[in-house]
Amino acid sequence: MPLFTIDETRCKRDGLCAADCPAGCIVFEKGGLPEPHDKKQAYCLDCGHCMAVCPADAIRLSCFSDAGEPVDRSLNISFDQAEQFLKARRSVRAFRDAPVERDLLDRILVAAEYSPSGHNARPIRWVVADGRAKVAGVAGAVAEWMRAESEDESNLARALHLPGIVRAWDNGTDMICRNAPALAVAVGPKQGITPREDGVIATAYLELAATAAGLGACWCGYLMAAAAHAAGVREFLGLKDTEAVYGALMLGHSARRYPAIPPRPAPEVDWL
């Protein structure tokens, strides 16, 4: 199968696809049609930049069954809006007792697929618990790991204040998953190009997408710590030995409103 096909009737012969390809997979000579590079086409990242940059929708990578979708500039937000959105995002730790619609979860998970990843490897899969009972099952597995660490008086138990969280759990307060009605866990291979970075970025994208969708979200660091150590939690999540958790988010309809943006220090920057 060729690397890509060109609609000759549409191609403007501008060479933009070749110029923008990050791996040099496309050969273009003035006046001609773009062609796959004999040797370098093997380096294609499937990133779709050739399709994204083409103003005539003339090129189609063979790895994609669908055409690209046009960018709707009428939906662009201003920098002021983006800045306000980014500053006003808060970690939400109080959720209404209402399920999160599957369609909404699907939609934000699709948005997170557009996060950058090293070599466009996109190695992340999601384990999602929807419904308070399922999330409580995950939290319970984490609590059991915390209990064992606390009984061992481990360094981790001291550093993460685990005995207090276990006491709260035993008294009916979930400080692990905060009674969230949904949980999304970013799982990726231990080995790879940049799986840890890819997982963290995908989770950050998901958090922003959730916020934009009107949901509350909060990173679930205790679950991430437990998944690195506890066989019971790993089994609960269905992780393979070759996989790690790189991000986890509690999700739900927020029970809080945040009418103010708390101060943050100015960024520390060294201009070279």
Ligand X SMILES: Cc1cc2nc3c(=O)[nH]c(=O)nc-3n(C[C@H](O)[C@H](O)[C@H](O)COP(=O)(O)O)c2cc1C
How far apart CA 237 and CA 223 sit, in angstroms, is: 10
Site string for ligand X, 190-219 (x = CB under 6 A): ----------------------------xx
221 binding ligand X? (CB under 6 A): yes
Q: How far is the CB of 87 from ligand X (least distance, A)?
A: 9
Stretch that binds ligand X, among 7-15, 76-84, 88-96, 152-160 (CB under 6 A): 88-96
**C-alpha span between 173 and 57 (Å, rounded):** 55
58-66, 85-93, 120-128, 155-163 -> range binding ligand X (CB under 6 A): 85-93
Size of the site for ligand X (CB under 6 A): 8
> Is 59 in contact with 34 (CB distance < 8 Å)?
yes
Residues facing 145 on adjacent strands:
none
- The interface mask with ligand X, positions 135-174, x = CB under 6 A, is ----------------------------------------
Say how far apart CA 214 and CA 145 lie, in whole Å.
Answer: 33
Helix, coil or strand: residue 254:
strand
Site string for ligand X, 7-46 (x = CB under 6 A): ----------------------------------------
Nearest to 229 by CA among 127, 152, 135, 124: 152
Closest by alpha carbon to 210, among 188, 184, 247, 186? 184
Report the nearest approach of ligand X to the CB of residue 107 (Å): 22
Q: Closest residue to ligand X, Cβ-based?
A: 221
**Contact call for residue 222 and ligand X (CB under 6 A):** yes
Q: Which of residues 90 and 134 has its CB atom nearest to ligand X in the complex? A: 90
Q: In the chain, at which residue ranges do the beta strands (DSSP E only) sit?
A: 4-6, 26-27, 35-36, 59-61, 125-130, 182-189, 216-219, 243-252
Report, in Å, the least distance between residue 178 CB and ligand X.
7
CB of 254 closer than 8 Å to CB of 92 = yes
Residues making contact with ligand X (CB under 6 A) = 90-91, 93, 218-222
